[in-house]
Amino acid sequence: MQVPKKITPDCLKDTIVEIRFSVNIPRELMSGYVLTVLSPLDFSFVPGQVSPGSFGFNISLGQNQQVGFDVGNVPGFFLRDKVRIQLLDDVIVFNCLEDNYIGWDLYIQTIKEVITVLRSKELIKLFNRVSVRYISEFKNIVIFKNIKGTINIENTGLKLDNSFIRLADESQNIKTFVVITNRGKRVAAHTRDIIEASLVDINVFENFNPTSDIGMLTERLDVVHSKQKEVFFGLISESFLTTLNPEY
């Protein structure tokens, strides 16, 4: 299957990359040490407030039902240009600001730059897991009609609006989880308008033996990211893909 290099617009709501690690210093001191290391790289620390494109949002699926998308709640994050970093216990989380995805090539360069300096300063000891979770949002789209396969319950008298399905796959040591939300509703963060949209949430992760090898780490990130793309483009129909202006 030929996978597009990009689509326009990219429709990405969240672009979360997580790296699990072990540390050489007490966790309660980690943020302070990281700030001293990342400041020369032009990262600033934003304490205890929400920036544009904040982590997490909720989709309403009808009365008293919501699907939440969240990667944690900590009292601050590091920010440079369009990339944000958070430290959550034994995980470092990267995310591009909402509607500001910088593309994988630049994204992985930024991630490698940060991880390399944290490792060189011995703030991180070993890595043992990577994950890539991208959430795509399609406003006013019935996503169940635009994926491969058939979901048809019309004869039952039920409707597919405001519903979601979960899919999972394990291939070798890579696990993939997919949540497809059909025509959910959420409140826009800035305008408070009600937005109706479908979501495709793909989370791919891999566990491996602890390593300090940055080259091996970035290689596994590339593999997991490629898997995420393959799943996304393998899921949606050819006719729907055409509307997304794919570039190869």
State pLDDT tens for residues 126-162: 999 999 999 999 998 989 889 997 766 666 666 667 7
- From the list 244, 209, 203, the residue with the least C-alpha distance to 225 is 203
Does residue 122 fall inside a structural domain? yes
Does residue 3 fall inside a structural domain? no
Question: What pTM did the predictor assign?
Answer: 0.84
Overall average pLDDT of the 101-113 stretch: 97
Does residue 5 fall inside a structural domain? no
Torsion of CA 115, 118, 119, 122, to 10 degrees: -170
What is residue 106's predicted lDDT score, i.e. its pLDDT? 97
Handedness of CA 5, 8, 12, 15 (dihedral sign): positive
User: Which tops the pLDDT comparison, 185 or 120?
Assistant: 120
Overall average pLDDT of the 163-182 stretch: 92
Q: Write out pLDDT tens, residues 200-219.
A: 999 999 999 999 999 999 99
Does residue 1 fall inside a structural domain? no
Q: How far apart, in whole angstroms, are the C-alpha atoms of residue 61 and residue 63?
A: 7
Write out the residue range of the structural domain in which residue 239 sits. 12-243
What is residue 69's predicted lDDT score, i.e. its pLDDT? 39
- From the list 44, 55, 51, the residue with the least C-alpha distance to 91 is 55
- From the list 134, 132, 136, the residue with the least C-alpha distance to 204 is 132
Residue 96 tokens, joined = 């591009």
Does residue 148 fall inside a structural domain? yes
Overall average pLDDT of the 44-62 stretch: 56
* The three-state (H, E, C) secondary structure of the chain, written as one string: CCCCCECCCCCEEEEEEEEEEEECCCHHHHHHHHHHHHHHHCCEEEECCCCCCCCCEEEECCCCCEEEECCCCCCEEEEECCEEEEEECCEEEEEECCCCCCCHHHHHHHHHHHHHHHHHCCCEEEEEEEEEEEEEEEECCCHHHCECCCCCCHHHCCCCCCEEEEEEEEECCEEEEEEEEEEEEEECCCCCCEEEEEEEEEEEEEEEEEECCHHHHHHHHHHHHHHHHHHHHHHECHHHHHHCCCEC
What is residue 29's predicted lDDT score, i.e. its pLDDT? 80
- Using the predicted structure, report yes or no on whether residue 59 has a pLDDT greater than 50: no
Overall average pLDDT of the 80-98 stretch: 92
Q: Beta-carbon neighbour count of residue 176 at 10 Å?
A: 18
What is residue 157's predicted lDDT score, i.e. its pLDDT? 64
**Number of domains observed in the structure of the chain:** 1
Does residue 95 fall inside a structural domain? yes
What is residue 63's predicted lDDT score, i.e. its pLDDT? 44
What is residue 169's predicted lDDT score, i.e. its pLDDT? 95
* pLDDT band, residue 172 (cuts 50/70/90): confident
Does residue 212 fall inside a structural domain? yes
User: Which tops the pLDDT comparison, 123 or 136?
Assistant: 136
Does residue 131 fall inside a structural domain? yes
- Using the predicted structure, report yes or no on whether residue 71 has a pLDDT greater than 60: no
